[in-house]
Structures are given as C-alpha cells and as structure tokens.
Amino acid sequence: MKTASRSRPTKSRRPARTTARRAARPTERDIDIDANRRLLNNYRYVEHEAMVQLAGWLPRAATFELKCEMGRSLWEYSQHVNSLYLRLREIQSPAFQKPSDEGLVRLMAGLLHASDEFAYASGLYRVVIPSLIASLETHETATFPNSDQPSVHVIGHVLLDLRAQLRRVEPILRRAERAGQFTARTRAWERYIRGLLAACGGVSGRERRHAAPAGPACRVVFVAPREAARDGRFTNLFADQGAMPPEDNYAEHTVEEFERYSTEMLAAETVALVLFAVRGMPWEFQYDSARHLYDEVRHCLMGYEWMRAHAMDPFKSPQYLHIYKWRSQFPPVMQYCMLTMGNEVHAFPYRHRRVEAHQKSGDQLSEQFVRYDIADETQHVRFGKRWLPELIKHVGEKRSLEKYTADVIAVWEREYRTGRLTINVE
C-alpha cells in the first residue's frame, strides 16, 4: 500500500524580511537625527511661546471656564517644554534655539495679537494645536523607534495631554459660538491664523506651503491688561474685603474662608502678568511660575468645589478686582515680591489654625483642602526666595535683597493689609 506523499516546503533562496528588519531599514518616511532636532525644537518653540502668551491672555479672558483652561494649558505646556528641553539638550547645543523657519516664528508672533479671547482661543486650540498634534503623531512612528525612544516617550505623553486639552476646550468654544460670542472679527482672525500656518507648512514645516496672508484689519496689538476681566455671571466685582467673622464662630468663618479661596484667581492673574512681562529670566523661573500660577487656579476651583458642596453659588462671591488693578500698577518684580513675601509668607499661622479648627469639627473636606493649600504655598515661598534675588539683578535694582524686600513689604503692609489701596489713574 502506497502512503500518501507529503509535500515538502521549498526553501526560499532569499530570507524573508522580518518586521524588525524592515523597521531597521531606512525609508523615505524615517526622521533622521537632524530632522529630529529641528522638529523637536519646533514643538518646544510652539508650546513655549503659547505658554507665555497664555500668561498674558489669562487676566484678560472673561469667561471663567476658558480662563481656568488657559491656566491649565499653560502649566501643561510648561511640562512639555521641560521634557523636550531635557531631550533636546542630549542631541543639540544649546537646547533652546530659535527655529530656522521664519514662517513658524511669524505664526507664533502673530497669534498673540487676536481681537478677543475667543479669537485667541480658536487660533490656538483649533488651528495651532491640531497641527502640532498631527506632526507629533507622524513623528512618533516615523522616527527610529529604538535609537530615538527618549523622543517617542516624550511625544506619547505630550499627545495624551494635548488630545485631552482639546476635548475640554472645544465644548467651551461651541457654547460661546451658540451664544453669539464669535463675531465676524473672531472668525476672520481664525482664518488669518490658518493662513499663517499654511504659509509655514504646518508646525512640522513639511506640508505644502502657501503665500502668507496680509495682516487683517481685526488685528489688535496686544497689551498686558491692567485690569482683570470676569464674565457676566459675576455680579460683585469691586467689593472691599472687610473683616472676616471671628474664628470662634466656626460656621460663618468657614463660609468666608472658602469664599475667599474662590477669589484666588487674582493671585493666578498676578503671577501670569509677571510671567508675561519679565523676559530673559532662566527657563527654570518660567517653569516654576507656571506651576505657581496653576496652583492658584486650582485653589480658586477648590473654593468653587467647597461652595457648591454647601449649596452656594460661587459666581456670587465678591471678586476684589481692585486688588489686581492695584498690584498691576507696580513693576513686575515688586508684584512678585508682594505676593510671595507678603501674602504667602504671612498666611501660614492662620492656615495652621484653620487645619486645627477643621479637625476639631470633623470637617475632613475643609481640612484636606487647607492642608493641600499649605503644601502649595510652602512651595511658592520657596519660589520667591529662589527667584527674587535673580529678578532684582535682572532688572538692575541697586538695593540689596533685604532692603528691597523690606521696602516692598512696607508698601504691602501700609496699603494691602489695611485695605487702603492707592490706585494711580493714568
């Protein structure tokens, strides 16, 4: 009986190309190290410029939800810039370099001068950031996956934040559109920013380029705001702080305590103004200031959370906007000194008493909020002690650190502590 013959596989004379071997073989889509440097520096530049611009726009933005997102975006961009900086310094020197593409520089310089908060936000979140995301997505798979794994790691984390950011911001912009807050000037500005982006071939510079558009009539030269904006839901903008209920009246004092937390956007806006105004300081100062600013946004939101948990409307809280206006008339370094060496240094005895009071009353929510606040404010005082000496040198201040700080705190004591704020009318 014959057995069925078995076919034998024929041996290929050429070995099959494995996926690993294909990945190792350069193709036209691979990003070499020179392109890698250029692209990573482009991403760093875009987010770094957006971070500083958001600091300028944050006090000017009236819509509360957009203002909060600007503060969070600014902090997230600082995280991304720092990660890209750490990677770039491994493959180029200096790590921070002006992009070689003047079109990209023109795009980011132009973005700042929007006509209103929604024009700026639509240009950033609907035009620039989507282009950045697209370039990062391509880069993540087109670079050499093993040799450039540090870049891939950074890109993955940046993409996670940017995609989530757009998911949060887009509903805010759509609500504004439905409410008629997108004017013809707003839409003209978005079209202009799209034209600038197309002129530089996208954030990557690899897309087809078009002629740069002329500056539109809706362009408004940006000036850092001397007054902080609030939307129409806020009805009590310039109230005096006044005296709080006595601390032994736990219930009433705690309501006032967290109402005042809900106004800490004022501190965020002051840090924002300093960050925008002081140029030429080391990157680490900008990085620390971004964190300081976002901490104050979170403290404000902490007050909102507490008030809503107690059936209170945070939009009815007095906003004390004259405090921002008062601080903004002083030089930026003086503002920073007042905030860190005045408000923040002097708050600790009170905050520790409040922790004890909340513990005694069994109020865990209030206790935890204040303890996190103490941790943040401790770090802010460290920032002040680290950067004030550098700031006064940077601006050419001749007084010693001790003399300068004493003089500034004397003004703070005389005006802020007493509530007798002197605002110069220009």
- More confidently predicted of 16 and 241: 241
Percentage of the chain with pLDDT > 90? 88
Question: Is the Cβ–Cβ distance between 285 and 75 less than 8 Å?
Answer: no
Span 125-152, average pLDDT: 95
256 touches 242 (CB < 8 A): no
Band of residue 93 on the pLDDT scale cut at 50, 70, 90: very high
The CA dihedral of 170, 175, 178, 184, to the nearest 10 degrees, is -60
Burial (Cβ within 10 Å: 0-12, 13-18, ≥19) of residue 242: exposed
- Whether the full predicted model's pTM is greater than 0.85, yes or no, is yes
The two three-digit tokens of residue 343, written as one number: 């408000």
Given a cut of 80, whether residue 27 has pLDDT beyond it is no
Q: Note the pLDDT of residue 21.
A: 36
Polymer length in residues for the chain: 426
**Using CA atoms, how far apart are residues 243 and 25, in angstroms rounded to an integer?**
72
φ and ψ at residue 143, rounded to 5 degrees: -80, 170
What's the pLDDT band for 175 if we cut at 50, 70, 90?
very high
Write out the two tokens for 263.
Answer: 């106004």
Alpha carbon 222 to its chain's center:
18
In the prediction, which pLDDT does 16 show?
44
**Res 22 pLDDT > 70:** no
Tell me the pLDDT of the chain averaged across its residues.
92
Please say whether the dihedral angle defined by the alpha carbons of residues 324, 325, 328 and 329, taken in this order, is positive or negative. Answer: negative
Could you give the CA distance from residue 73 to residue 52 in angstroms, rounded to a whole number?
11
pLDDT for the residue 302: 97
Q: How far apart are the first and last CA of the chain?
A: 113
Closest CA to 201 of 101, 84, 109, 113: 101
Report which residue type is found at 92: Q
What pLDDT was estimated at residue 252? 97
**Mean pLDDT in residue range 361-386:** 98
Query: Range with the lowest mean pLDDT among 1-10, 31-40, 57-66, 77-86?
Result: 1-10
Within 10 Å of residue 302's Cβ, how many Cβ atoms? 21
Give the C-alpha separation, 394 to 333, whole Å: 10
Q: Choose among 87, 72, 69, 80: nearest CA to 45.
A: 80
The domains located in the chain, with CATH, are: 30-199 (1.10.620.20), 250-416 (1.20.1260)
